[in-house]
Structure 1
Amino acid sequence: MPQPETLPAALRAAATAHADLPAVVDGDTTLSFRDLHAAVRDTARGYVALGLVPGDTVCLWAPNSWEWVVAGLAVSYAGGVLVPVNTRYRGEEVADVVERSGARLCVVADGFLGRSQVAELRAAAAERGTRGDAGGHALPGLDRVAAVVGIGDTTADGTTAFSSLGDLGAAVEDIDAVADAVRPDDIADILFTSGTTGRSKGVLSTHGQTLAAARVWTRTCRVTEQDRYLVISPFFHSYGYKVGIVASLVSGCALHPMATFDAEEALATIQRERLTIVPGAPTIFHSLLESPAFATTDTSSLRLANMGSASIPPRLIERMLGELTFELVIPAFGMTECVVATMCRPGDPDEVIATTNGRAVEGLEMRVVDPATGEVCEAGSAGEIQLRGAMVMQGYLDDPVATAEAIDPDGWLHTGDVGTVDAEGNMRITDRLKDMYVSGGFNVYPAEVEAALARLDGVVESAVVGVPDERMGEVGKAFVIQREGADLTQEQVVAFLRDRIANFKVPRHVELVPDLPRNASHKVLKPELRARATTKDD
């Protein structure tokens, strides 16, 4: 039997194959795959009743929850294009995404983290003044928006309650025909990049590409309907959505979404629900291992950890295998523009798992290119990682210049990541091109320094950035989180590194900090650290 080629078809197939199995478990709410399909159909009808037509975009601004799963899949079922929005964005940033994507509907979890998201969005829209077509007045100033749908126990004035969409759309009879009309090459989603180094860009992906990413991940990780998956990565992120929600549709595993990450709550859920899968950024696993609750938590049910990070300290993987007792730790590499690019494989030697991001997945080519000369590097030589294949994005929303800069005429995606590929095809990320700094004429890749710091007793996590220096041009500054009870000094940190890495790589400045600034995907905001370091060191 051929595989479903669109998200609506994948949802229907899952509702048939896994009808009574749990699809989403969120607090007191459990939806089977049959329940999920029914809820998505009802919600899609409500969207149509509010004015959504195939091809329209819907912005979804909400934390991980069962409502997000239903609301997001319903966009595709109604023939629309999903635009997930970062929960950490402020009203002006969301208004920018709403306007740029031409959203017809906005689905908002009002009141999340004590904020009034609807009020913020309305204020930002009003500041922009009336523009666009006269499609409605739900958001004066962003008049293409026909309605704002509110998720939550209370509904702000002038919004439509998410819980009322089923009744609102009861008269819409042909929703399955709308879903059937969706094609594999239709744009399924526009995911905006994090924007930590500039204005965010909207990444366009088709239904076929989104499903392909989920399938290659679930096949490689051997995910089945027996798995129970703690989804910490936010659903607005490519990993939370495509390697979370969509992965559940193609495998039948149960999702346990977390609205905000809390190490103690995560450990309690792992033990109570006997969870088997926990993907996430390295900081997630640092936090679990360092939690006071870890020593008394039964984590024996854990089967699979997957980390989609550019750089992973080998010491962390050793601790995950030895202390968290994962059977499989699968490092991987991906980005919004190509969600799943490389993965380690079950059965790989420990050295490969601990030191690489694995090999290119099925359907993708990978090469390493010298950024200065444009020549393809030999095995083992460092250069920019470039990717080519069917899962590479269609391009950036309304930005042909940025698209041409990212994807060259031969179809190679320039990732901006520096790395090496060995003779067996295993890729190792060295760092981001933009994070590299030059000290005394030598290139320094912070990830290498951070990996060395991870082996210093008392260090939980670190981040290294380059700061201006009159003599050397730039030197390193390390921000270090130390373990509770440790009493590290700058001198100890520097002495430890001098025994392990070249002198020009050793940071000249060390600051012990309680935490590191992060975005909602738990990535460290290095531009913020650079600004902080420059200010303090001036």
Structure 2
Amino acid sequence: MTLPSGTIVVGEALREAARVMTDRVAYVYEGRDISFREMDEISDRVAAGLLMLGFRKGDRLGVIGLNQPEWLYAYFAAAKIGVIVVGLSVRYRESELQFILNQSGTRGLVTIAALGDQMDYVRFLDEFRNKVPRVSDFIFVGGGGFQGSHSFEALMQTEVDLPALNKAKAQVQPSDPAMIIYTSGTTGRPKGAVLTHESMLAAALAEAEHLQVDEHDILQMAMPLNHVGGITCCILTMLLGKGLIELVPVFNPNQMIEMFEAHPPTLIIGVPTMHTLLLMKEEMGCAPVEKVRVVITGGSNADPNLLTKLREVYRNATVMNLYGLSETSGAVVMSPWDSDFDSTVHSIGKPMGMIQVKVVDVNGTDVPGGEVGELLFKGRMAAAGYFGQPEETGATFDADGWVHTGDLGYLDERGYIYLKGRLKEMFVQGGYNVYPVEVENVISSHPKVGMVAGIGVPDAVMGEIGRYYVVPKPNEELLPEEIVSFCKEHVADYKVPKQVVVCRELPLTPAGKVMKSKLKEDFEKNGI
């Protein structure tokens, strides 16, 4: 598998798929088939419409939407003419939108007109636009706007000025930014990772080659498009492999199972939360999963119990871990095909393709194999830094091309990577380093536990102690004492939780990760 004509730009990748696959279905949305050629032609018209509105190379275009065709039309259209897409979540509200749109200097905003009865974007943005003065063009999908705004459906009908469009396309280079993806906010203020055409396609190509994606593959995609899990790990990976994606507007386990019935999948990709919620459904016992050849869990550390259940349910599939960051434009580590299940369960896998990895201590010095340190990666998939944040860029992207992940881990003698949690999540209890992910994996194996998250909190005697938030499975009653007793049987005494909070839910980021910063914030404010 190679990139088309040696040109590493997103628009060329789509055009190549349209040329090779002609009228082959590329996307399915609510029963409607969209071919590669149709995606190429419509995004050409949207690109021509953006040019007529005055958009030029380097301008930023925010996109708010569900997993729907219009999101992809906007993304591919912008990429073709060098406009940079700023990924926005439908879960963002005023403070997040104000910061991101202003910090990124976004010129235009493509947005759905409404999100059911939850959000009236037309009304909200009409009242809000004075707070984002650089946004001059508001483009609404699926409904009217306010005075001076534009219709996305009208852009889709633009008559293409081919010389002007081709001139704009010719100016786009592999090193140009294609997208800005803001970190999900688990720590500090959001940072906008600048993903280039080359970095996104390099990450997608490595994954497509590793998974051996081809035109026979089918994936129901619920990963959000404003995140690398959706746009790179799914959309671009399947584009390069010429596979079919059924777009899932919003993750809903019942809807996913119905989609399995209509289009039996060959690939399953999700974060642990998605897999857990799917496996809780009794209907999964008779879902048509015989064709699934690979099931992938990524986005955060997967506990061994979950991976074991995935292997049992998807009987004919290879279970793989996936590890990646916004700063690496997508996946950099996956479980090898020949991985024994014990290695799959306890490690995140090996680097893919030409990606390099090393482990360093707090001084940046390489540490021997088997010793825990910060994981660093290097390769064409590296983002170009953080938009407008040189200090943060220098702390993450060093002069030698290494991406500092902030994640702790170690390498064994076979090259497998073992994740030990976030650098800032580790806490010291009575002089011992405790990695919450280790204890979380133990707690999650308890038969009554659905989800768990641990943090370190201050303690006058021990310095810090472990506090774990546990969500029971449906219809299960769980006492904190049960968790403490269970941990005493399975981990060293200094790792046993000192505090256990049984709760109904955990705060999640838009990407489906547990928001530990919110747990810490609530504890600091309220002691809960």
The range that moved more, 414-423 or 315-324, is: 315-324
Tell me the secondary structure at the aligned position of residue 337 of structure 1. Answer: helix
- Residues 48 and 169 of structure 1 are in contact (CA less than 8 Å); yes or no, is this contact kept in structure 2? no
Q: CA deviation at 1:5?
A: 1.5
Identify the match of residue 178 of structure 1 among 160, 168, 172. Answer: 168
Matching residue's letter, 2:124: E
Q: CA deviation at 1:219?
A: 0.7
- Residues 104 and 388 of structure 2 are in contact (CA less than 8 Å); yes or no, is this contact kept in structure 1? no
Identify the match of residue 508 of structure 2 among 507, 514, 518. Answer: 518
Deviations 1:414-449 (A, max 9, x none): 110000111111101110011111211211111000
Deviations 1:273-304 (A, max 9, x none): 11222211111111111123323423223222
Alignment of 1:9-408 (within 5 A): 9-113=12-116, 114-126=118-130, 128=131, 142=133, 144-170=134-160, 174-325=164-315, 327-338=317-328, 339-371=330-362, 373-408=363-398
- Residues 221 and 330 of structure 1 are in contact (CA less than 8 Å); yes or no, is this contact kept in structure 2? no
- Residues 310 and 429 of structure 1 are in contact (CA less than 8 Å); yes or no, is this contact kept in structure 2? no
Matching residue's letter, 1:329: V
Which residue does the alignment assign to 1:507? 497
In 2, the alpha carbon distance for the partners of 1:530 and 1:319 equals: 30
Matching residue's letter, 1:51: G
Alignment of 1:401-440 (within 5 A): 401-440=391-430
- Residues 40 and 70 of structure 1 are in contact (CA less than 8 Å); yes or no, is this contact kept in structure 2? yes
Q: CA deviation at 1:101?
A: 2.1
Q: CA deviation at 1:485?
A: 3.0
- Residues 295 and 314 of structure 2 are in contact (CA less than 8 Å); yes or no, is this contact kept in structure 1? no
- Residues 310 and 431 of structure 1 are in contact (CA less than 8 Å); yes or no, is this contact kept in structure 2? no
Q: CA deviation at 1:175?
A: 1.6
- Residues 272 and 300 of structure 2 are in contact (CA less than 8 Å); yes or no, is this contact kept in structure 1? no
In 2, the alpha carbon distance for the partners of 1:273 and 1:247 equals: 19
Tell me the secondary structure at the aligned position of residue 205 of structure 1. Answer: strand
Matching residue's letter, 2:349: G
Tell me the secondary structure at the aligned position of residue 210 of structure 1. Answer: helix
Taking a change above 3 Å as real, the CA distance of residues 329 and 420 of structure 1, as seen in their structure-2 partners, is: same
- Residues 367 and 385 of structure 1 are in contact (CA less than 8 Å); yes or no, is this contact kept in structure 2? yes
Q: Percent identity?
A: 28
In 1, the alpha carbon distance for the partners of 2:316 and 2:521 equals: 38
- Residues 50 and 146 of structure 1 are in contact (CA less than 8 Å); yes or no, is this contact kept in structure 2? no
In 2, the alpha carbon distance for the partners of 1:537 and 1:407 equals: 36
Matching residue's letter, 2:360: V
Taking a change above 3 Å as real, the CA distance of residues 497 and 488 of structure 1, as seen in their structure-2 partners, is: same
Q: CA deviation at 1:170?
A: 4.7
In 2, the alpha carbon distance for the partners of 1:533 and 1:103 equals: 35
The range that moved more, 341-350 or 324-333, is: 324-333
Q: CA deviation at 1:157?
A: 4.3
Taking a change above 3 Å as real, the CA distance of residues 77 and 409 of structure 1, as seen in their structure-2 partners, is: closer
Matching residue's letter, 1:218: A
- Residues 477 and 533 of structure 1 are in contact (CA less than 8 Å); yes or no, is this contact kept in structure 2? no
Q: CA deviation at 1:237?
A: 0.2
Tell me the secondary structure at the aligned position of residue 398 of structure 2. Answer: coil
The TM-score normalised by the length of structure 1 is 0.93
The range that moved more, 445-454 or 473-482, is: 473-482
Matching residue's letter, 2:85: L
Q: CA deviation at 1:499?
A: 0.6
In 2, the alpha carbon distance for the partners of 1:394 and 1:326 equals: 39
- Residues 48 and 172 of structure 1 are in contact (CA less than 8 Å); yes or no, is this contact kept in structure 2? no
In 1, the alpha carbon distance for the partners of 2:26 and 2:503 equals: 40
- Residues 43 and 156 of structure 2 are in contact (CA less than 8 Å); yes or no, is this contact kept in structure 1? no
- Residues 222 and 270 of structure 2 are in contact (CA less than 8 Å); yes or no, is this contact kept in structure 1? yes
Tell me the secondary structure at the aligned position of residue 167 of structure 1. Answer: coil
Taking a change above 3 Å as real, the CA distance of residues 42 and 330 of structure 1, as seen in their structure-2 partners, is: same
Matched, 1:447 2:432: no
Which residue does the alignment assign to 1:133? none
In 2, the alpha carbon distance for the partners of 1:110 and 1:196 equals: 28
Tell me the secondary structure at the aligned position of residue 177 of structure 1. Answer: helix
Q: CA deviation at 1:453?
A: 1.0
- Residues 271 and 300 of structure 2 are in contact (CA less than 8 Å); yes or no, is this contact kept in structure 1? no
Matching residue's letter, 1:483: K
Matching residue's letter, 1:354: V
In 2, the alpha carbon distance for the partners of 1:319 and 1:278 equals: 14
In 2, the alpha carbon distance for the partners of 1:535 and 1:59 equals: 34
Tell me the secondary structure at the aligned position of residue 332 of structure 1. Answer: strand
Aligned residues: 523
Taking a change above 3 Å as real, the CA distance of residues 301 and 518 of structure 1, as seen in their structure-2 partners, is: same
Q: CA deviation at 1:169?
A: 4.6
In 2, the alpha carbon distance for the partners of 1:3 and 1:29 equals: 33
- Residues 95 and 121 of structure 1 are in contact (CA less than 8 Å); yes or no, is this contact kept in structure 2? no
The range that moved more, 178-187 or 112-121, is: 112-121
In 1, the alpha carbon distance for the partners of 2:477 and 2:99 equals: 46
In 1, the alpha carbon distance for the partners of 2:431 and 2:294 equals: 42
Which residue does the alignment assign to 1:474? 464
- Residues 305 and 329 of structure 1 are in contact (CA less than 8 Å); yes or no, is this contact kept in structure 2? yes
Which residue does the alignment assign to 1:131? none
Deviations 1:129-155 (A, max 9, x none): xxxxxxxxxxxx51x433211012444
Q: CA deviation at 1:364?
A: 1.9
Tell me the secondary structure at the aligned position of residue 490 of structure 2. Answer: coil
Matching residue's letter, 2:334: M
RMSD over aligned Cα, in angstroms? 1.9
- Residues 229 and 254 of structure 1 are in contact (CA less than 8 Å); yes or no, is this contact kept in structure 2? yes
The TM-score normalised by the length of structure 2 is 0.95
- Residues 333 and 350 of structure 2 are in contact (CA less than 8 Å); yes or no, is this contact kept in structure 1? yes
The range that moved more, 296-305 or 280-289, is: 296-305
Taking a change above 3 Å as real, the CA distance of residues 279 and 316 of structure 1, as seen in their structure-2 partners, is: same
Query: Any stretches of 5+ residues in structure 1 without a counterpart?
Result: 129-140
Q: CA deviation at 1:65?
A: 0.6
Taking a change above 3 Å as real, the CA distance of residues 317 and 530 of structure 1, as seen in their structure-2 partners, is: same
Q: CA deviation at 1:347?
A: 2.0
In 2, the alpha carbon distance for the partners of 1:326 and 1:512 equals: 36
In 2, the alpha carbon distance for the partners of 1:2 and 1:175 equals: 20
Taking a change above 3 Å as real, the CA distance of residues 304 and 156 of structure 1, as seen in their structure-2 partners, is: farther
